[in-house]
Structure 1
Amino acid sequence: MSDHRRDVFVLLFVQVTIFILFGYFVRYDESQKGENTIYFMFQDIHVMVFLGFGFLMAFLKKYGYSSIGFNFFLAAILVQWAILCRGFFHLSNLKIPISVESLVEADIAVASVLISMGVLLGQTTLLQLIIMGIIEIAVYQCNFYVGDEILKLYLKIADAGASIFVHTFGAYFGLAASFALSRFKRKNDIESDKSLESSNYTSDLFAMIGTIFLWIYWPSFNSAELSGDDQHRAIINTYLSLAASCATAFAFSAILTPDTKFDMVHVQNSTLAGGVAIGASVNMMIQPYGAIFLGMLAGALSVIGYNYITPWIDRNLHIHDTCGVHNLHGMPGVLAALVSAILAAIATESQYHTGLYDIFPARAPTIPSFNQDVYRHIQGDGRTAMQQAGYQILALIMTVVVAIVTGFLTGISNKTLCFHYSFL
């Protein structure tokens, strides 16, 4: 049997297996009445996942079909798998209740795989990406469940825009997988791969489509699972941070690029860094000027990363990052976690009023005081602001370690299972 035909049968087997699992486990969630109000947010995130990420990677003139086609197929099949993986942690009478909220969370989960795909594009086949995606979604859901659900009983951290659990996780998972795969490739093979990664005028125009769609809809990504004042702040903070990172990325690109011309890689990617950097603190009282400052910092950091850090990592650590994911998702994701820790350390009840315990539930008193307007229905751990900041950092460390270890093991197992490279 030819390699191509074998791959087709494997992919079809995956889809049929998902169909069987849906038939046995998944049912409509009858308790979710009138939840279609979040459908508009779902549409925005859907555009980001299926159009934004795919076209963003279309700058590679030799891998244009791969970036858009692989993204389309990978997202379509992994959305189904993500619903199942999340649902297994929320079984009700051995059934998985599905709602529009489930679709939103599945799209967000798939974003982590598409981020990792940006590291590996051009280095793997579609089958290898599917295998990686199946493993990564399972690990992502476990890490998310431990970090955001089980540890709501313990860590109780704030990451409303998923900068830690999606962007940071996806980036370092992909980088670790790339490092593992490079162990099996000869130096001349790696150099040959790099020679195919140039862009041209047309491919850069297509990539700008992805950039603009991601830029426009990012506020929905960061605020979809919030409500009330939290959602209001999240939309404003994300928009301002994106605007500032866009302007700063253009400026730093001109400064660091010879002849003061803009580099299209910076324009396509670093302009989005503010959306990642604001994610973990997006519903906090960072203030509009703080959101702008963070966007400026992220835009500058991303451009510097493309110019200096990525070449150093490639040269010294032999980690090839095709689309510069470390600069758009990795470093800004770490920055987001650090900023969230700082804001947690200075958060006070006078700033947030009752909202403090919605964002940081562990900060609520162990025994509600006489002020029922402030502490109603909330009983926490009596955690101090500095303790909360420490837990934010702990969640970052946990996520990075899990991503690197499982990404490396996935890269090794992927190479062991698939012995060939082929591209669309």
Structure 2
Amino acid sequence: MQKMAHFRKKLSTGLVAAAAGIIMCGGMTAMASEITSEAASLDMTTDYPGITVNPGDTLSFSLDFSSDEACDAALSVESIPEGWTGYFGGDGNQVSMVHINSGTEADNAELATFNLTLPDEAEEGTYTVELAADAGSSGSDTLELEITVNQEELGQSSFTAEYPEQQGATGTSFSFDTTLVNNRATEQSYSLSAEAPTGWTVSFTPSSETSQVASVALESGASEGITVDVTPPENVEKGEYTITCTATSASDTLTMELSIEITGTYGVSLSTPTGNLSLDAYANDQRSVTLSITNTGNVDLENLNLTSSAPTDWEVEFSESTIELLEAGATQEITAYITPDADAITGDYLTTLTVSNDETSADAQFRVSVKIRTTWGIVAVAIIVVLVILLGCIFKKFGRR
């Protein structure tokens, strides 16, 4: 009986110890679960924690948060490369703490940003920036940003012209030397197009080709020289014109503006209303001729001067020696007065009249026929007739003897 009682006592003691152990294990499990829950109650994330940049770049990371309960979290930079600078921002201000609502990242999206600036002398390599958010008893979290510094201009393709502005007169064709650069990580096929005024033509010719193309393929990091030929219509007016060229790929839409200034065409003609460039004149007698001066260009002409080149001792004068303004397409008539030399003998002479300014000029050669006046001719004929009659009388009188 004593042995049986002793056995029951030991069994009871064992059961109590086992129960205590189970209770302690359950408590520790619950405590561990609570600690784990607290550690996971706050999360800080960003969409792109790894990025490739260039020295001197400034970056902005949007920060999203999730929390099991509403809390205020202090933000800090745990580690950052030497010479780099960074700060937290929110609503246009620099911040050090953020209020997080209870909920998921969708409920607390882009609550803050982390702005990071690299020094211009940053060397190539991969760097880590560690951020921290601490809400005390509500939890904490860290976020590592992996920054790869590459001195090549990756991700910034370009389409540029060496001289994007040119000028020329009407009838001029223009040629632009441009460069297309693919700084994407993969090969790109660029479609080339242009938006130009009505009547203008634009073509693209790669430096490695002899014919025009509508597209060009470039490997990652490659570039291509492209000649852009622009031809305005023949009757284009004076003014400034813009041509927008576009290179489009699956990843890029690159635009480039070319500027062309049409200065217009300068032209003038000199003639007579009938087109006749000959006249009769007499020695020392002034003759007038009507000149027709026309602006044949599409730009107004200013300060047109009239000059002459005539035989020695001849005189040439104009009713107006200067035309202050002759509009494009307009015609003005001016009278020229030509006086042959008093000793000029019968014959044909050339007199050149010129109209000119700093932009253009024109001349016309007039054939001036110097003649003897009709009255003197009649006198000469009369004298000859009288002489003939006298000679006839003399022959008649002396012939009978």
TM-score (norm 2): 0.17
TM-score (norm 1): 0.16
Q: Which structure has the bigger radius of gyration?
A: 2
Higher relative helix content: 1
